[in-house]
Amino acid sequence: MASNNRRNTIFPGSDPLTALPHPNKESRPLRDDKTSIGYMTSRRKRLPAIRLPVNPSVSSTEQLPVLSGSPWDLYKKDFSIELGGSVAVVHKKLVTEDLFTIRSFSGQDTDEKLYMLCLLRHESFLLSHEIFFFEGIYFIVSEYMAISLEDLTIARPDEIQLAIIIHQILNGISFLVKQDLTHGSITCSNILMSTQGVVKIAIPEYCSRKSSLVDIVALGCVMKQLMEGPTEAKRSGLQNPGYWSEEAVDFYSLTLSASPKQLAQVSYK
């Protein structure tokens, strides 16, 4: 008799028992749980309304400095990677072994992009530390994040992990709506995650000054890919809704028409 296995990987911060840091508590190891085929029937289980813990990420009120000169005088490149676009992973040459990323832009709308970088110093967005201007190009030095959600679509998060991820993205979109801004590129490749389970929206400099629900619709697309994998992204609706709770399926359906405020009031968070 054929059976289906469900991989249930616990990332740092996604387990309710370990999400809040404790100075004397070591990280719990990853684990794999096999779920019986009975769980994957079309009869969905209903979860109680819960407020899941989220790893704190502090907004920065410090001014973002723009420096004249090459960033390569202070930073050394380790390797290149796709994290919200192509970036160089670097470390400071003399001061620390901590990792950062450097991306660049030039050409038109540079003033607007600099404005957005300074405005969106919020916990839900990739934090920039400093900007270098050299030979007509702006180089943005930002915090390093381990993976994008595009990588996570392969691992397939469980329900608790999914709720925590979506909750953090929704916080960022809600902040944009209050500022009458739209990101316009909410995709799995542009949503980054740290090893502590903190989720950040990348490339904030490309936000535009308009109010739109396009980011909420995009949130639904991200949620669908996390629930069913990247190969299901272009197919309409959920192909296996019985795998998830009623709350998860209902929340996904609301992303097609609801506002960020309405979604924030749903118990699935």
pLDDT digits (tens, 9 = 90+) for 167-210: 999 999 999 999 999 999 999 999 999 999 999 999 999 999 98
Nearest to 59 by CA among 134, 125, 103: 125
- Asked if the model's pLDDT at residue 235 lies above 80, the reply is no
pLDDT band at 36 (very low <50, low <70, confident <90, very high): very low
Residue 2 has pLDDT above 90, yes or no: no
Tell me the C-alpha distance between 61 and 63, whole Å.
Answer: 6
* pLDDT tens column, 242-259: 999 998 999 999 888 888
Q: How far is CA 127 from the centre of its chain?
A: 13
Per-residue pLDDT, 198: 95
> Is the predicted pLDDT of residue 1 greater than 60, yes or no?
no
DSSP 216: H
Higher pLDDT, 41 or 230: 230
Q: What is the rounded average pLDDT for all residues in the chain? A: 78
Residue 76 has which token pair?
A: 């050394």
**In this structure, are residues 99 and 90 in contact, taking their beta carbons and an 8 Å threshold?**
yes
| DSSP one-letter code for 148 | E
- pLDDT tens digits, 37-77: 233 333 334 433 333 334 434 455 467 889 999 999 999 99
- pLDDT score at 233: 61
The answer to which of 24-38, 47-61, 144-158 has the lowest mean pLDDT is: 24-38
Q: What is the pLDDT of residue 11?
A: 31
pLDDT at 139 over 90: yes
The pLDDT tens digits for 97-121 are 789 999 999 998 999 999 999 999 9
Q: Which two tokens stand for residue 121?
A: 């110093």
Cβ contact 42:242 at 8 Å: yes
Distance spanning both ends of the chain, measured CA to CA: 37
* Residue-level pLDDT at 262: 81
Could you tell me what percent of the chain has a pLDDT over 70? 74
77 near 104, Cβ under 8 Å?
no
pLDDT of 239: 87
**Element of type H or E holding 250:** helix 246-254
